[in-house]
Structure 1
Amino acid sequence: MCMMCLARDPGQTIYDSHIDAPLTDGGISASLTDAGKPTYTADQIADYLAVGFWQDNGQQTRSFDVQAGGTITVNLNGLDATGKATALQALEAWTAVSGLNFTQSTNAMITFDDTQSGAYNSSYTSGTTITSSHVNVHTSWQSYGEYYLQTYIHEIGHALGLGHGGMYNGSANYDTQAHYANDSWQMSVMSYFSQHENPNVSSSFAYLATAQMADILAIQSLYGTPTNVQSGDTIYGDNTGLSQHGMGLNTGKAVTIFDSGGTDLVDLGSRDWNQRLDLRAESFSDINGKIGNFAIARGTLIENARTGEGSDHIGGNGAGNRLESGLGADTILGRGGDDVLIGGGGADTLGGGSGSDAFVYDTAGDAGDTITDFSLVEGDRVDLTNLFANLGYSGSDPVGDGMAWLAAASGGSWLAAASGGSWLMVDGGGLGAMAIAFLSGIASDASIADIIDVESVPVGPGPTDPGTGNVDTVITLTNIFALSWTEAGSLIRDTDGGTDTLDMSAVTYSTKVYLDGSVAGKMGSKLLNIEVGSDIENLLLGSARDHAWGNALDNFIDGAAGDDRLYGQAGNDTLRGGGGRDWLFGEDGDDVITGGAGADKISGGAGADRIDAGADSDKIYGQDGDDVIEGGDGRDTIYGGLGNDRLDGGSQADKLYGHQGDDVMIAGDGRDSLYGDAGNDDMSGGGDADKLYGGDGHDIMSGGGDRDFLRGDAGNDVMDGGGGDDKLYGGDGDDVMTAGNGRDYLKGDDGNDTLDAGAGDDRLFGGKGNDAMSGGDGKDFMKADDGHDTVDAGAGDDRFYGGRGNDVMSGGDGNDMVYGDNGDDVIDGGAGNDKLYGKADNDTLRGGNGLDFLKGDKGDDYLDGGAGDDRLLGDTGLDEIHGGEGADYIKAGSHDDTVDGGDGNDKIYGDSGDDTIDGGAGDDIIDGGSGNDVILGGEGVDVIKAGSGDDVITGGIGADRLLGASGADIFVFATLDDFGDTVGDFSLRQGDQISVSGLLQGGTVADALAQGLFALEADGRSSMLTFDSAGTIVELAYLRNLSSDTVLSEDWLI
């Protein structure tokens, strides 16, 4: 049960906070009626978990910056022993469907504890990237039994980036808060509704041991589809070798499996439940007495299944399945593929579906079945090898010896075998024989030799010899040959050279052909032998499921329609899959392979191969050699392998892996993922939102239009995100990164990188190294990090940080905010109302045009406000400050600073230290602060307060107001233009003096006093100091609190 999502700060979201209450106490309510909600597909539910939930909450999709096969660190030290063991089980459940590896670390991406009440997860995000997550499940939840593990799986789902199945959190009501009719645990562990709490779900109540079908699609949409989980031959059920909880299929919990490859088995052979098992992907099965409690995820191919002593129902899939049931009246449906069906004891109903199927009987107890769709045309057969052996038959011709025959019956024929002893069976028609199986639709005069399959049955390899071989021979086989196949037909041979063709295009049986003659092949149920040493180059196959192997020559093999498997072997071969889901293997040589329609699996093998996969979603492996591979239409996965390969994904969402070598990778249309791996790769994403990973080497990467993700990894990479909101990560090396228009994210990482985000509101991070960064137009955020960096934010209201190192930073047009951080930085705000912070060390700050704010902070800084009404703060250090044009506010800070106010009506504060201050033009207000300051008011009517200390004060041109404050101050009148000032606190007792020597044109003050050039005129309790300049009386300064009878002397006139 979950409480509301709580926003802590802009970077943190807490979601899924559970209260301490067991699941069964009524914390979640559900109606027994449906209010017309839509039924979602698995894809729609997955999209809501990964995207919709966050959008509905006004947030962004999120995930860790790793892909399938990558590593996420976890810290489990905050859990007790039970909690740690359960968390490890839950993490293993997510590994099994995502391919993510979880390793323990004290400095982890996901931390766990059990000290807070309830259960919840919280995550920090940066944009769409999760930077850390925290999972808490209180120890009291251990009392909830099997729900304890499910809670951990649920919370880790949040930690990885999944939301809930609907807009609920803390508690939920199905009628008002379920978005879709099938919102339940059956589809998602992130749902709040158990199978019974959703009235539209018919499955049994069961806690969950795994992520469910929609969860798997959702997590793979965030991290990619893994190829590294359960990729071998895996057993699920009895005798499983998996450590993952629930894979024994015996816990009573609901389970969904995802499997990457291998030949796999679902084994329920030890159980006597009436099982209903469906091997198709995205299907639900009923096992162990429950309904809908076992599912197979999309992309998973399970080949084989076995059940026990119940009345079971087994359904296969499109692969060649081996399906076996035990005792009981079972139903087995093979569906597509060349299947092997074993009904076991009991009167079973068997249907092979399409393909060349085998129905196997080992003992007399297996007899009595009905085969509903036996087809000679498809190449079906009944395998009696072990049955005849168990009956003691040792002959070589069971048909000729009368061991098996067909008996007519309504709607088909019974396949019967000679009876005797304890295994005598009598069918309803009174046959004194073993009624093995009723073959629906098969006439009683059909060839029994075409139906049964026993190892000792001598079948000829072909028709009468098509020819002893001529130059450029065409050997044509049809279904007619198979029907008249005899041992006397001898071998197919052609050893006289020429370009020869074995044409089987008209054959509708499933075939196996070995052109080198090393193994006996088959056409339907008959052997097809090619004499060793024959030199047949070309093979044309028919419309069924065919298997073919070439020879050492340059072969041309055409699979035509059907799900074929073609192997070129040695030589420069040409393989064509045609229609169907084909497997094509070029093997040695420079091969040309075309997949055609259908989801194909293609491997080039050694040599420089050319591969065109064609339509549908294909898997292509270039392997060794310099290969050229085109995926064509469909969601393709392409592996270049060794060599300098050219990979073209074509349309739709493709995955391209360059592996080793200098590869050229072109994604084309669709949301593609490109992995360059080792080598100097050239990667192009094309249209739509692509993901490009350069790997090792000096890579060239182009995302194209739309929202692209580019990671250069090691090497000196050149990266171009193109249009759209892109994310670029340089990785190690000296990278060049260009994003183009859009709201882009660029991170240089280690190395001397060049970052150019282009137009748009961008985020740039230089990382370690001496980086050059350009934000372009837009409101950019830039952080240069370590190194001596050059940063140009461009037009727009930007915010950027220099980080450590001696940086050169330019804000450009716009209202910018710039932080130099450590190092001797040079910062130019450019036009606009900027805020510049030098931080530590000796910085140079220039505001440029606009109303700027400059703060030097620590260090000996140089500040220039430029045009505009600026605020300049020197702070600590020996600073040099220039206000420039405009009415500036300047505070020099501690230490001995130099200040020039420039034009405009400035306010200047020297603060502590022996400062040198020039107000410049304009009516300035100057406060020297403490220290022995030298202050010049400049032009204009200035107000100067020198502050404590022995100061030298020059009012300059204009009627200035001068205050010396404490200390022995000197008021300077250097020229006659300086007249008209008021000294507000002149004090002889403090040792104040007036400097007039500049007026005397080389004369001395003593001479001037003797000549009576200076005088004090009474003005109340104060005096006016006058100077006789060639007969013109100039009123130099009004001296407050100085009596007119004060004696003029060189003690204070200097």
Structure 2
Amino acid sequence: MPRNAKAQDIADYLLGGYNESTKIPYTFFDPDARGPIKADIGGLNAEGKQLAKWAMNAWESVADVEFKLVNRGASLTFVDHRSGAHAETEADGDGTITKATINVSSGWVEKYGSGVDSYTFRTYMHEIGHVLGLGHTGPYNANADYKDAIFKNDSWQLSVMSYLGQDENPNINASRASNVMPMEADLLAIRELWGAPKDHYADGDTIWGIGSELDNYLGDMFRGMANDKKSDAYDLQPITLYIEDASGHDRIDFSHTGLHQTVDLRPGRISSVLSFKNNMLIAEDTLIEDFVSGDGIDKIIGNDAGNAIWGGGRDDMLKGLNGNDELWGDAGKDRLFGGGGQDVLNGGEHDDLLKGQRGGDELWGEAGKDRLFGGGGQDVLNGGPHDDLLKGQGGRDVLVGDTGSDTLIGGGGHDALYGGDQSDVLRGDAGNDLLDGGEAGDTIEGGSGDDQLFGGAGLDRLEGGEGDDRLDGGEAFDELFGGAGADVFVLGLGYGTDTVGDFVVGEDLIELDAALMADLTAEAAVDLARETPEGDLMLNFGDGNRLLLSDLAGTELTAESFVIV
């Protein structure tokens, strides 16, 4: 009965269990010899020579092993004139294996391809794995299927030494995709025999994918896939990746594809890239900072590092998780979630949803009708063009509607709201807020707390709500309602006719600009008050500057009601 196995269990089997169960020895060379393994590829055609060199480089990249190409005196010989694929050995009198021959039929290139992503390349890696001392992942040889497995998760997903493609194991939820590198179990096993490489090929700042500068066979493949067309190193075939990185600031870039990708950058997680399912694994000790996607419908999750994630075209979902992240939705209707840390979220084109969540975040809606939610922390939200919804939620937030008819809601904390162009709705909610409508006719509500309300240009309606508020309608004809509390209503030069809907004598104040008229005093302002037929009081300062106090006919104003500034 097959059992679930950890990668280490499979590695142990590659090293010893296979030999015990099959009685086939697979330690062809002595790892303690430490000299380069001399290899002769003269018996291969041009494609085979390149595949053999790539495959040797694959093992050199992950273990302390070295191959040296020679024309004579080789201990490892490659040929392609026989059918099938296999490794053979020669031994001296005491049974010590001194030579090995690997045959991969030349017909495999025609049948399976000649790129790093081909099954032919995988076969070269597999046979070299035997030469270096690894068995199979089950007690099988030649032909095998799942009934021969002893591990439930035996497949290419964990080892290049497996005979079972992902689609041949009913327990593996993944596309059939050929290995382009030794996998997790292989690395554990080969390093137990040969040790880790002295210098990791992915040390420093590494780009996996488009723009890669890797100086090995993987770099050849990544550079070949840049145009999403067939090349010498890339046959456009499904691939399985095991991302093991050493240090530096690293990036995975599959921006060339318009296919859907589901990516989880957390260590030990598995992802679906290049339109294939569960075909990229990230090592437990590897931290990848950045991911760049293409024009598919993507779902990308970051990790605890400061991630930079680009969604590309179409409708993407990006999650930063912990760390100070940058999330770029680009084109499409995107959903961006910052998580913990101080994040920057940029929706890009179209109608996006941005949530900063925990931490002090920056949210930029850009083009489209966007919805921005700051979350906890001191956030900055900018809606950009079009009609946006901005909610600061908790914390001391800054909300900028920019262009478009926007709705801004401060939430908890002492917030600053700026409507920008066109007619906006601003609501401070809790806290001592600053609300500035900007251009056009705005509706501004302070909510609870001692708020400052500025209408700016346009026909505005200002409502202070609870608390001691200051209401400044700005230019044009505005309506001002203080609400509960001791409020201050402002009339400046060039403001036009403003209406105060709920002035309370003895509680509220009227702040007047001294430039409204010559020798303006509080007493002079009282003398200007005139009743209207509608039952209001009108104060006319001349040049179109007037203040209408609703429903105050018959009320005695006092000098204490005015402040001249």
Distance 2:383 2:281 in 1: 27
Whether 2:453 is the aligned partner of 1:984: answer: no
CA contact (8 A) 2:309 2:327 kept: yes
| Alignment match of 2:515 (pick from 993, 996, 999) | 999
Alpha-carbon separation, structure 2, partners of 1:926 and 1:912:
14
* 8 Å Cα contact 2:117-2:237 kept in structure 1: no
Change (3 A) 1:745 1:1050: closer
The equivalent of 1:618 in structure 2 is 85
Aligned to 1:999, the other structure's residue is in SS state helix
Determine which structure has greater relative contact order: mean sequence separation of CA pairs < 8 Å that are 6+ residues apart, divided by chain length: 2
Q: Which ranges of structure 2 fall in alignment gaps of 5 or more residues?
A: 29-36, 45-69, 91-96, 110-115, 133-154, 162-175, 188-195, 226-235
Separation (CA, whole Å) in 2 of partners of 1:625 and 1:858: 67
Shift of 1:716: 13
Give the distance between the partners of 1:1047 and 1:922, measured in 2 at CA: 32
Is 1:609 matched with 2:81?
A: no
Q: Which residue of 1 aligns with 2:168?
A: none
Q: Cα RMSD between the aligned structures?
A: 4.9
Corresponding letter in the other structure for 2:561:
D
C-alpha distance in 1 between matches for 2:426 and 2:38: 83
Are residue 632 (structure 1) and residue 101 (structure 2) matched? no
Which residue is 2:178 aligned to?
A: 690
User: Contact conserved, 1:690 with 1:703, CA < 8 A, in 2?
Assistant: no
Name the SS for the 2:467 alignment partner.
coil
Q: What is the aligned partner in structure 2 of residue 94 from structure 1?
A: 2
Residues 1:593 and 1:883: Cα distance change in structure 2 (over 3 Å): closer
Say whether 1:827 aligns with 2:345: yes
TM superposition shift of 1:744: 3.9
1:844 CA drift (Å): 0.6
- For the residues of structure 2 that align with 1:673 and 1:927, how far apart are their CA atoms? 58
* CA contact 2:291–2:309 (8 Å) conserved in 1: yes
TM-score for both structures, normalised by structure 2: 0.65
Report the Cα offset of residue 877 of structure 1.
0.6
- Of 880, 888, 891 in structure 1, the residue corresponding to residue 406 of structure 2 is 888
Which stretch has the larger CA shift, 769-778 or 722-731?
A: 722-731
Q: How far does residue 691 in structure 1 lie from its aligned partner after superposition?
A: 1.7
Match of 1:1037, as an amino acid? Answer: L
Q: State the one-letter code of the partner of 1:846.
A: W
SS in 2 for 1:693: coil
Larger mean CA deviation between 689-698 and 867-876 belongs to 689-698
The residue type paired with residue 1018 of structure 1 is T
Q: Distance between the aligned counterparts of 2:377 and 2:208, measured in 1?
A: 43
Q: Is the contact between residue 365 and residue 372 of structure 2 (CA under 8 Å) also seen in structure 1?
A: yes
2:556 counterpart letter in structure 1: T
CA displacement at 1:593 relative to structure 2? 9.7
1:737 partnered with 2:252: yes
> 1:726/1:890 Cα in 2 relative to 1: closer, same or farther (>3 Å)?
farther
The residue aligned with 2:143 is: none
Alignment of 1:788-937 (within 5 A): 788-937=306-455
- Structure 1 position 656 matched with structure 2 position 125: yes
User: For residues 818 and 724 of structure 1, do their structure 2 counterparts lie closer, same or farther at Cα, with a shift above 3 Å needed?
Assistant: farther
Corresponding residue for residue 62 of structure 2: none
Deviations 1:778-821 (A, max 9, x none): 21111111111112222221110111111122111111100000
- In structure 2, the partner of 1:1043 is 553
Q: Which amino acid aligns with 2:537?
A: S
Q: Which residue of the partner structure matches residue 29 of structure 1?
A: none
Q: CA deviation at 1:729?
A: 4.1
Change (3 A) 1:227 1:959: same
Change (3 A) 1:634 1:673: farther
Q: What is the deviation of 1:630?
A: 5.3
Q: Give how far 1:1046 is off.
A: 1.8
Contact 1:819 1:838 in 2 (8 A): yes
Cα-to-partner distance string for 1:433-486 (whole Å, 9 max, x where unaligned): xxxxxxxxxxxxxxxxxxxxxxxxxxxxxxxxxxxxxxxxxxxxxxxxxxxxxx
Pick the aligned partner of 2:537 from 1014, 1023, 1041: 1023
Q: Distance in 1 between matches of 2:279 and 2:520?
A: 67
Give me the identity figure in percent: 27
| Structure 1 residues 896-921: Cα deviation after superposition (integer angstroms, max 9, x where no partner) | 11110011221111001110110111
1:610 CA displacement? 2.5
Written as runs of structure 1 = structure 2, the 5 A alignment for 1:394-543 is: none
Check whether the contact 1:836–1:855 (CA below 8 A) recurs between aligned residues: yes
Quote how far apart the aligned CAs of 1:923 are: 1.9
Instruction: Decide whether the 8 Å contact of 1:954 with 1:972 is kept in 2.
Output: yes
Aligned equivalent of 1:1052: 562
Q: Is the 8 A contact 2:510 2:561 kept in 1?
A: no
User: Which residue number corresponds to residue 666 of structure 1?
Assistant: none
More helix by share: 2
Distance 1:1050 1:980 in 2: 22
Give the Cα separation in 2 of the matches to 1:789 and 1:703: 15
Letter of the 1:968 counterpart: A
| 1:776, distance to aligned residue in structure 2 (A) | 2.0
Which residue of the partner structure matches residue 267 of structure 1? none
How much does 1:880 deviate? 0.6
Counterpart for residue 780 of structure 1: 298
Question: One-letter code of the match for 1:614?
Answer: H
What are structure 1's unaligned runs of at least 5 residues? Answer: 1-92, 106-222, 234-258, 264-566, 568-587, 596-603, 637-646, 663-670, 678-687, 705-711
Label 1:950 to 1:626 Cα distance change in 2 as closer, same or farther (>3 A): farther
Quick one: distance in 2 between partners of 1:756 and 1:891?
38
SS in 2 for 1:822: coil
Mapping for residues 77-156 of structure 1, pairs under 5 Å: 93-94=1-2, 101=5
Q: Report which of the two structures shows the higher radius of gyration computed on alpha carbons.
A: 1
Deviation at 1:620, TM superposition (A): 1.4
Tell me, in whole angstroms, the C-alpha distance in 1 between the residues paired with 2:463 and 2:457. 16
CA deviations 1:578-631 (Å, max 9, x no partner) are xxxxxxxxxx99778979xxxxxxxx9x94432204342232168999999551
Closer, same or farther in 2 for the Cα pair 1:759/1:982, shift >3 Å? farther
